[in-house]
Amino acid sequence: MRIALLGFGLIGGSIARAVRRSEGGFSISAWSPSGAGPRAALAAGVVDAAPREPADALDGADLVVLAAPPLDCLALLDHLAGPWSDALAPGTTITDVASTKGAIVARADALGLPFVGGHPMAGRETTGFGAATAELFEDRPWVIVPGGSAGEADLERVALLARTCGARPVRLTAAEHDAATAAVSHLPLILAAALAEAVAGGIARRPDPAWPLARDLAAGAWRDMTRIARGDPAMAAGIVATNGAEVAARLAVVLDVLERWRLALEAPGGPDPIRLLAAFAAVRERLEDRAPKDGGRADGDPAEGGPGGR
C-alpha cells in the first residue's frame, strides 16, 4: 500500500516512522507547505519521496493521510475535491489525524470524498518531525469515524494503518468523538492556557505582581499543569475553533465547580478542612475508578460541584 502524507509534523512524522519500522511493504510519500520535514525524513530514510508539489505526493496513493491541524484539514479537503482531484487514483481512501471530527467529516461528506475520519489519541507538547517517534501510538486508541461516502474497504485501510502504528482502532461517530475529547483533550487546553494567563499574563491580562518570584519557585505542579499550553498555538486554536460548542459546554461546568471551590475557601471562619479533604479524596477516587466510600454524593463530593456541595 502506498501512503501519501499531506502535512508532516509530529503526528505525520511519527506515522511515517512507525510504518517504516513495521517493514510491512508500505511506500510513503510526504508533502508539507515548507517541505522541511519531508526532506529531513527522506534524508533519514523514513519516507520514500518528498516531492515539492502535492499532486506528485498523491500520485498512485492508496491512502491519503491529512496530517495537519483541523482548519488546515478543511482546506486540504477542498483542494482534494478541486484542483488536486485529478491526482487521486480511483479507489483512493482519504483520512486525517486531526483532533476534532464533526466539522471535518461534514466537509468531506459535502464534497463527496471517500473519507474516514481518524484521530490517534496520542501526542506531545513538542512539534515538528524532529520530535516524531515510532512509539508514539503504541497501545493507544485510534478513533475511526466513517464518512458518508466511505466503504468497508476504506475503513479497513485506516484500521490497518492504525494497527501498523501499534494503535487500537476504535470506531465512533463524530458526535461521540467530539463530546468525549472535548472533556479529556480540548477542555484541558483552555484550562492550561487560562491558568498560565491568570498568573503569567496573556493577551488580555498583565502578569500577576508575584509572577517573577513564582516563576523562580515553580516546580512540578506548575510544569505539569501548563505543559499543553506550551504546544503549538495554531494547533490549539484550530482544535477549539472546530469543537467550540462542546468545549464551551464543558467549560460552563468547570466554571460552576470553580465558583463552589472559591465560596468554600472564602467561608466565614475560614475553609473547613474536613470538607476540603472530602472533596480532594472524592476526586482522587474518581480518577482511580473507585466509587466514593459512602456510595453517594456527599456534601464534599465534586460531582456536586466542589467542596461546598449543592
By the 8 A CB rule, do 215 and 134 touch? Answer: no
Domain ranges of the chain: 2-172, 177-304
Identify the DSSP state of 182.
Answer: I
Number of helices followed by number of strands (H, E) in the chain = 13, 7
The CATH H-level superfamily of 2-172 is NAD(P)-binding Rossmann-like Domain (3.40.50.720)
Return d(Cα 252, Cα 257) in angstroms, integer: 9
By the 8 A CB rule, do 302 and 257 touch? Answer: yes
Residues with Cβ within 8 Å of residue 121, at least 6 apart in sequence: 140, 141, 142, 143, 185
CA dist 194 to 17, 147, 175, 189, 287, Å? 34, 35, 26, 9, 22
Structural fold of domain 177-304 = 6-phosphogluconate dehydrogenase C-terminal fold (1.10.3660)
pTM of the model: 0.86
Identify the DSSP state of 308.
Answer: T
Residue 149, helix vs strand vs coil:
coil
Output the nine-digit C-alpha cell for 54.
502535492
pLDDT, residue 306, reads 60
pLDDT, residue 276, reads 95
By the 8 A CB rule, do 41 and 47 touch? Answer: yes
Return d(Cα 139, Cα 165) in angstroms, integer: 9
pLDDT, residue 126, reads 77
Distance between alpha carbon 172 and the CA centroid of its chain, in Å? Answer: 15
pLDDT, residue 125, reads 72
Q: Render each residue's pLDDT in the chain as its tens digit; 310 residues.
A: 999 999 999 999 999 999 999 977 899 999 999 999 999 999 999 999 999 999 999 999 999 999 999 999 999 999 999 999 999 999 999 999 999 999 999 999 999 999 999 999 998 777 789 899 999 999 999 999 999 999 999 999 999 999 999 999 999 999 999 999 999 999 999 999 999 999 999 988 888 899 999 999 999 999 999 999 998 898 899 999 999 999 999 999 999 999 999 999 999 999 999 999 999 999 999 999 854 444 333 333 333 456 655 3
Strands (DSSP E) contained in the chain are 2-6, 27-31, 63-66, 93-96, 115-120, 141-146, 168-171
